[in-house]
C-alpha cells in the first residue's frame, strides 16, 4: 500500500512548483515606490505650485517605460520621462499641485501606467490650502458705479412651498469717500418678494441686501416667481440689474409622501422640429405624461416663454393613478427670426419628489 505521507508531499511539491513561477512573475511585474502618498501639510493659496517627486525602483528583470500618467483634476500636473528605466535603477514621477482658488483640505491622485504591469499605480498628494486674503473686486465682482460694488446680482431660490419663506443676502460695499443713496426700482415684480436694503450706503462701509420670498399658505400661485430691479446708486442707474427667481409649489409632508403620492413621468424631454419654414405651424403629440403613483396627479402650472409655442396641457388638469395622457406641443414660426429657435415647457405638479419637469423644444427657422 502506498505511503500516503509521501503522496501528499509529492502533491504539495508539484503544486508549489507550478505556483512559484507565477509568484516570481507577479513580483517582477511590479515597481517599488519609496512612498505612494505624500502630505504637503499647510500651504498658502497664493504661494505658488508645490511638487513632490515620487521615486521608484525597477525590481523587474527588464527595462521599464512609463507609458502614461493621468490625473483627474487640472490642478494636479504630473511630469515624467519616457526614457527606459533599467533593472535595479531608479526613476521618478513628479506631481505638482496648484493651490490657487482651492482653499481647504485636498486629496488628489494620479495613475501611473507602465510597461511592467497592466494595472496602474496610484499615487496621492494631500494637504491643506490656507486661504489668501481676497481683493475687494473678488469679493464684490459687480461694479454698480461710483465706487459701489455688489457680491452678486442674481439668485435662484429653486422651490418654495406654501406657507414657507426663503431668504438670501447679497453683499454691498461702498469704496468711495462719500455716502451714496440706494434705490431698487421694480421692472418685473411677482408681488411675493420683500427687500430689506439700506437707503444710504455709508462711505467706506459694507453690508447686505436681504431678498426674501414668502408664499402665503392660502396662495393659489404656482410656477415661476421672477423679480427684476433697476439699481439706482447716487441718483444714477447702474448697468447691471438685480434679479431673483423661485418656483412656487405645494408644501409636502415628507413623512407621508412615500406612502401615498403621485409620480409624474414624461416619456421624453426633448422635441426637435428640425427645419421649419417661416410662417409654418408644426405639431408634435408624441410625448406622454403618466402618473405612476397611487394618488391623483394635479397639474399646477404649465409655462413657456415664447408666444410662438403652445402646449395642450393646462393648469388644473388631472391624471388618475396609473393613467397617462398625451401632450400636443405646437410651434408657430410666423413671428420668429431665421435661425435656431429654443424654448422650454415647464410642468409643475403635485409630485413631491419632482415637482417640476421640462420639455426642451428646438427648431431651425428657414426661408
Q: What is the pLDDT of residue 256?
A: 52
Whether 93 is covered by a domain: the verdict is: yes
DSSP letter string, 56-95: EEE-SSS-B-EEEEEESSTTEEEEE--SPBPTT-EEEEEE
Q: What is the pLDDT of residue 260?
A: 86
Q: What is the pLDDT of residue 177?
A: 97
Whether 25 is covered by a domain: the verdict is: no
Would you say residue 267 has pLDDT above 80?
yes
Q: Where does a domain end: 130, 147, 176?
A: 130
Q: What is the pLDDT of residue 41?
A: 96
Whether 24 is covered by a domain: the verdict is: no
Clarify whether residues 123 and 150 are in a common domain: no
CB 311 within 8 A of CB 326: no
- Condensed to tens digits (0 to 9), the pLDDT of residues 177-205 reads 999 999 999 999 999 999 999 999 999 99
Arithmetic mean of pLDDT over the chain? 90
Q: What is the pLDDT of residue 258?
A: 56
Q: What average pLDDT does the segment 322-329 reach?
A: 96
For residues 261 and 297, what is the distance between their CA atoms, to the nearest angstrom?
8
Band (254; pLDDT cuts 50, 70, 90): low
Counting residues of the chain whose pLDDT is more than 70, the rounded percentage is: 91
Q: What average pLDDT does the segment 161-170 reach?
A: 95
Domain that holds residue 107: 30-130
Would you say residue 332 has pLDDT above 80?
yes
CB 197 within 8 A of CB 182: yes
CATH number at residue 307: 2.60.40.10
Clarify whether residues 224 and 296 are in a common domain: no
Whether 65 is covered by a domain: the verdict is: yes
Clarify whether residues 168 and 63 are in a common domain: no
Clarify whether residues 272 and 355 are in a common domain: yes
Q: What is the pLDDT of residue 27?
A: 37
Clarify whether residues 244 and 271 are in a common domain: no
Would you say residue 11 has pLDDT above 50?
no
Clarify whether residues 53 and 156 are in a common domain: no
Q: pTM of the predicted model, to two decimals?
A: 0.71
Whether 84 is covered by a domain: the verdict is: yes
Sign of CA dihedral 16, 17, 18, 22: positive
How many domains, the chain?
Answer: 3
Clarify whether residues 351 and 288 are in a common domain: yes
Would you say residue 14 has pLDDT above 50?
no
Would you say residue 257 has pLDDT above 80?
no
Whether 360 is covered by a domain: the verdict is: yes
> What's the grid cell of residue 174?
461702498
Would you say residue 337 has pLDDT above 80?
yes
Q: Where does a domain end: 219, 249, 279?
A: 249
Q: What average pLDDT does the segment 56-71 reach?
A: 93
Residue 31 burial (CB count, 10 A): 19
Would you say residue 243 has pLDDT above 90?
yes
Q: What is the pLDDT of residue 259?
A: 75
Band (312; pLDDT cuts 50, 70, 90): very high
Clarify whether residues 104 and 141 are in a common domain: no
Whether 94 is covered by a domain: the verdict is: yes
Clarify whether residues 317 and 273 are in a common domain: yes
For residues 24 and 33, what is the distance between their CA atoms, to the nearest angstrom?
18
Clarify whether residues 277 and 321 are in a common domain: yes
Would you say residue 47 has pLDDT above 50?
yes
For residues 118 and 359, what is the distance between their CA atoms, to the nearest angstrom?
45
Clarify whether residues 226 and 272 are in a common domain: no
Q: What is the pLDDT of residue 272?
A: 96
Q: What is the pLDDT of residue 173?
A: 98
Q: Where does a domain end: 130, 145, 162?
A: 130
Would you say residue 15 has pLDDT above 80?
no
Counting residues of the chain whose pLDDT is more than 90, the rounded percentage is: 85
Clarify whether residues 100 and 184 are in a common domain: no
Band (73; pLDDT cuts 50, 70, 90): confident
- Looking only at the bridges linking them, the beta strands covering 90-97 and 50-58 are antiparallel
Band (116; pLDDT cuts 50, 70, 90): confident
Amino acid at each position: 500500500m502506498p505511503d500516503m505521507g509521501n503522496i501528499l508531499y509529492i502533491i504539495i511539491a508539484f503544486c508549489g512548483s507550478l505556483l512559484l513561477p507565477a509568484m516570481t512573475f507577479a513580483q517582477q511585474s511590479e515597481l517599488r515606490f519609496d512612498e505612494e502618498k505624500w502630505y504637503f501639510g499647510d500651504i498658502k493659496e497664493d504661494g505658488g505650485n508645490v511638487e513632490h517627486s515620487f521615486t521608484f525602483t525597477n525590481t523587474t528583470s527588464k527595462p521599464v517605460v512609463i507609458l502614461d500618467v493621468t490625473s483627474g483634476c487640472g490642478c494636479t500636473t504630473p511630469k515624467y520621462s519616457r526614457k527606459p528605466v533599467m533593472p535595479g535603477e531608479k526613476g521618478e514621477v513628479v506631481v505638482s499641485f496648484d493651490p490657487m482658488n482651492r482653499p481647504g483640505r485636498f486629496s488628489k491622485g494620479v495613475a501611473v501606467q507602465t510597461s511592467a504591469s497592466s494595472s496602474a499605480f496610484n499615487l496621492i498628494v494631500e494637504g491643506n490650502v490656507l486661504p489668501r486674503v481676497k481683493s475687494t473686486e473678488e469679493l464684490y465682482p459687480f461694479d454698480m458705479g461710483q465706487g459701489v460694488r455688489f457680491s452678486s446680482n442674481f439668485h435662484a431660490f429653486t422651490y418654495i412651498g406654501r406657507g414657507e419663506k426663503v431668504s438670501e443676502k447679497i453683499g454691498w460695499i461702498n469704496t468711495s469717500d462719500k455716502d451714496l443713496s440706494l434705490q431698487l426700482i421694480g421692472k418685473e415684480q411677482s408681488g411675493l418678494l420683500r427687500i430689506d436694503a439700506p437707503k444710504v450706503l455709508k462711505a467706506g462701509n459694507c453690508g447686505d441686501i436681504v431678498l426674501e420670498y414668502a408664499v402665503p399658505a392660502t396662495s393659489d400661485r404656482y410656477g415661476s416667481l421672477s423679480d427684476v430691479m433697476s439699481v439706482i446708486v447716487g441718483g444714477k442707474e447702474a448697468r447691471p440689474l438685480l434679479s431673483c427667481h423661485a418656483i412656487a409649489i405645494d408644501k409636502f409632508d415628507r413623512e407621508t409622501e412615500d406612502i401615498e403620492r403621485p409620480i409624474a413621468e414624461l416619456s421624453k424631454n426633448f422635441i426637435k422640429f428640425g427645419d421649419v419654414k417661416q410662417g409654418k405651424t408644426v405639431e408634435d403629440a408624441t410625448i406622454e405624461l403618466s402618473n405612476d403613483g397611487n394618488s391623483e396627479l394635479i397639474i399646477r402650472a404649465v409655462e413657456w416663454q415664447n408666444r410662438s409655442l403652445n402646449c395642450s396641457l393646462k393648469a388644473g388638469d388631472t391624471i388618475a393613478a396609473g393613467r397617462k395622457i398625451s401632450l400636443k406641443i405646437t410651434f408657430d414660426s410666423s413671428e420668429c427670426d431665421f435661425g435656431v429657435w429654443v424654448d422650454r415647457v415647464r410642468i409643475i405638479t403635485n409630485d413631491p419628489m419632482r415637482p417640476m419637469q421640462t420639455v426642451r423644444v428646438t427648431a431651425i427657422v428657414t426661408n
